[in-house]
């Protein structure tokens, strides 16, 4: 398990970062070269002794990057083995570009789908970079949602590919929707493996896959959330249902305070016991002496699914003591969720679906759980938490935080940000150094000096959202 927020998703910048990281692992003398939506390998060509880019038959995707890396090592071995340029290029055409295989072997949809399926299962999760496994429900569900749903649209898998079939399948989804865009991407992979791939790819490129239809993004302010939270709690008069409602309301509160995706709370490792790794102990959330309230998420939920961007450590987006007490944050109450099926789709989405169902049942102003996550991001901004720290805690990249999360801001929260923010004018370390110098140079009596130090501690704690004990430690003041 990797704890520390390494997972990212949803950004072209993330893809390029993966490309840069993997490029460092390539064999000496071979490097990546981006060519539009494809990835080339650059090396000294036998017969010319010139360093040039060469297609390697992969697209610029997460899977393509790792496939190109594997091909780079095969090319390195071939360069060191073959003594004839013609032998090398014959080998390259067959083994790297697989042109003979495409022309002679892959002739039906079934064979193409089989190759795409093998490529998927031999690849890695784009967010966490772990190896995919058929034993992980999330991987199975992801394959079914993106690939199988497209493959199943073809009535006869033993036919040879034709444009009419591909176009008909694509337009079973409405153009301009996210589903159409996803299907277009998968069918592009299908076309690339067809014998007449150049013509098919040209025809597919003439169809605009851009998503224009979007769901209305819901938002909620902190005040709206608190009013609903208290109302939902007070309206439950049946004692046998009260614990259940408290547990799901606690999940909602954790989503607001930490910016969690609903099911991520089911992967928490330090709710009631401290988490220790590499000699470092992170106190339990339920520990009343815990001031920092760092939350440790593992890779897996307690019901056997993975979380989207992998294990990480989360920082609360707000340390307002009264708010945390009002929401019972330090009284963990995780719901008991027992899936009644081994269906991957139900296993993966069941917890979040039940959470959303309860939001509607208890008349929450929003039915979309992500509204809480976006509220948390705004609370963190209001509290002066730098975007890099917020992104790391939320489990995505800074570019996603900047481009996606700011599009869902709540009007009231936006007003609060502009009129009642606590942005850090200077780093905390610098502020502590200044305070320490002022105290030392004050020339006050011991009693007045103690009063001044107490005031400094309280002021810095309030401004920087850091516990008074931590400020005292940095000031060497007890």
Q: What is the pLDDT of residues 368-412, one digit of tens each?
A: 888 998 899 888 888 888 878 888 888 766 555 444 445 545 555
Residue ranges of alpha helices (H) inside 44-177 are 62-81, 85-91, 99-100, 109-121, 137-143, 149-151, 163-170
Which band of pLDDT confidence, cut at 50, 70 and 90, is reported for residue 445? low
Helix (H) or strand (E) holding 33: strand 31-35
Query: Given this structure, which CATH class describes domain 222-419?
Result: mainly alpha
Does residue 467 surpass a pLDDT of 60? yes
As a whole number of angstroms, the distance between CA 416 and CA 382 comes to 8
Position 423 scores a pLDDT of 46
As a whole number of angstroms, the distance between CA 334 and CA 302 comes to 10
Q: What is the CA radius of gyration of the chain?
A: 28
Domain boundaries for CATH 1.10.443 within the chain: 222-419
Locate 168 and state its tokens: 């008909």
Locate 235 and state its tokens: 């309206």
Position 391 scores a pLDDT of 81
Does residue 439 surpass a pLDDT of 70? no
Task: Of 211-220, 228-237, 284-293, 450-459, give the lowest mean pLDDT range.
Answer: 450-459
Residue ranges of alpha helices (H) inside 363-440 are 370-382, 387-394, 398-403, 411-419, 428-440
Burial class (CB in 10 A: 0-12, 13-18, 19+), 127: buried
Chain-centroid distance, C-alpha 282: 23
Mean pLDDT of 462-468: 70
Does residue 106 surpass a pLDDT of 60? no
**pLDDT, tens digit, 9 for 90 and up, residues 274-319:** 999 989 999 999 999 999 999 999 999 999 999 988 889 999 998 8
Locate 89 and state its tokens: 């290029």
Residue ranges of alpha helices (H) inside 92-221 are 99-100, 109-121, 137-143, 149-151, 163-170, 178-192, 197-205
Query: E strands within 278-431?
Result: 280-282, 295-297, 312-314
Does residue 121 surpass a pLDDT of 60? yes
As a whole number of angstroms, the distance between CA 190 and CA 213 comes to 25
More confidently predicted of 466 and 222: 222
Residues in the chain: 478
Does residue 74 surpass a pLDDT of 90? yes
Task: Of 100-109, 242-251, 258-267, give the lowest mean pLDDT range.
Answer: 100-109
Percent of the chain with pLDDT over 90: 54
As a whole number of angstroms, the distance between CA 258 and CA 374 comes to 10
- Calculate the average pLDDT of the chain: 85
Locate 24 and state its tokens: 């460092």
Phi, psi of 356 (to 5 degrees): -65, -35
Phi, psi of 61 (to 5 degrees): -135, 175
Can you tell me whether residue 174 is helix, strand or coil?
A: coil
Single pTM value for the model? 0.65
Chain-centroid distance, C-alpha 472: 36
Position 67 scores a pLDDT of 92
CA distances from 319 to 326, 389, 417 (A): 12, 15, 16
Which residues, 6 or more positions from 16, have their beta carbon under 8 angstroms from its beta carbon?
Answer: none
Which residues, 6 or more positions from 184, have their beta carbon under 8 angstroms from its beta carbon?
Answer: 170, 204, 207, 209
Locate 172 and state its tokens: 């079973």
Locate 16 and state its tokens: 């390029």
Assess contact for 389 and 395: CB atoms under 8 A.
no
Which band of pLDDT confidence, cut at 50, 70 and 90, is reported for residue 357? very high
Position 405 scores a pLDDT of 45
CA distances from 449 to 289, 365, 468, 474 (A): 28, 51, 17, 17
Assess contact for 89 and 42: CB atoms under 8 A.
no
Position 306 scores a pLDDT of 94
């Amino acid at each position: 398990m990797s704890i520390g927020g390494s997972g990212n998703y949803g950004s072209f910048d993330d893809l390029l970062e993966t490309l840069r990281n993997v490029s460092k692992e390539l064999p000496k003398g071979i490097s990546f070269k981006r060519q539009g939506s494809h990835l080339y390998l650059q090396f000294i060509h036998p017969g010319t002794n010139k360093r040039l880019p060469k297609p390697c038959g992969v697209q610029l995707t997460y899977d393509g990057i790792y496939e190109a890396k594997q091909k780079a090592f095969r090319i390195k071995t071939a360069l060191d083995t073959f003594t004839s340029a013609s032998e090398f290029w014959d080998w390259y055409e067959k083994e790297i570009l697989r042109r003979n295989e495409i022309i002679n072997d892959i002739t039906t949809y079934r064979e193409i789908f089989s190759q795409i399926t093998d490529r998927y299962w031999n690849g890695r999760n784009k967010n966490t970079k772990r190896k995919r496994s058929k034993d992980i429900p999330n991987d199975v569900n992801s394959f079914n949602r993106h690939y199988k749903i497209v493959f199943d649209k073809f009535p006869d898998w033993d036919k040879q590919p034709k444009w009419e079939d591909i176009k008909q399948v694509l337009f079973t989804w409405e153009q301009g929707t996210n589903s159409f865009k996803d299907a277009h991407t998968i069918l592009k992979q299908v076309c690339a493996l067809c014998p007449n791939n150049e013509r098919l790819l040209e025809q597919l490129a003439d169809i605009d896959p851009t998503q224009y239809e979007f769901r209305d993004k819901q938002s909620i302010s902190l005040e709206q959330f608190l009013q609903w939270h208290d109302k939902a709690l007070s309206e439950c008069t049946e004692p046998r249902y009260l614990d259940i409602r408290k547990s799901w309301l606690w999940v909602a509160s954790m989503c607001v305070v930490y910016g969690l995706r609903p099911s991520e709370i089911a992967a928490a490792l330090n709710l009631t016991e401290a988490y220790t790794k590499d000699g470092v102990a992170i106190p339990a959330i339920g520990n009343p002496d815990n001031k920092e309230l760092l939350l440790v998420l593992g890779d897996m939920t307690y019901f056997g699914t993975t979380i989207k961007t992998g294990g990480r450590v989360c920082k609360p987006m707000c340390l307002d003591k009264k708010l945390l007490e009002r929401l019972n944050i330090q009284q963990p109450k995780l719901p008991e969720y027992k899936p009644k099926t081994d269906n991957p789709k139900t296993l993966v989405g069941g917890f979040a679906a039940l959470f959303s169902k309860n939001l509607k049942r208890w008349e929450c102003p929003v039915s979309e759980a992500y509204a809480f996550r976006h509220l948390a991001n705004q609370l963190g901004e209001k509290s002066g938490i730098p975007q890099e720290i917020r992104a790391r805690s939320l489990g995505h990249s800074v570019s996603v935080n900047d481009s996606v999360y700011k599009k869902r801001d709540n009007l009231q929260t936006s007003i609060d940000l502009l009129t009642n923010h606590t942005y850090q004018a200077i780093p905390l370390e610098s502020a502590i150094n200044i305070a320490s110098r002022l105290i030392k140079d004050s020339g006050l009596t011991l009693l007045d000096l103690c009063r001044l130090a107490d005031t400094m501690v309280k002021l810095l704690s309030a401004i920087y959202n850091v516990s008074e004990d931590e400020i005292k430690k940095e000031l060497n003041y007890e």
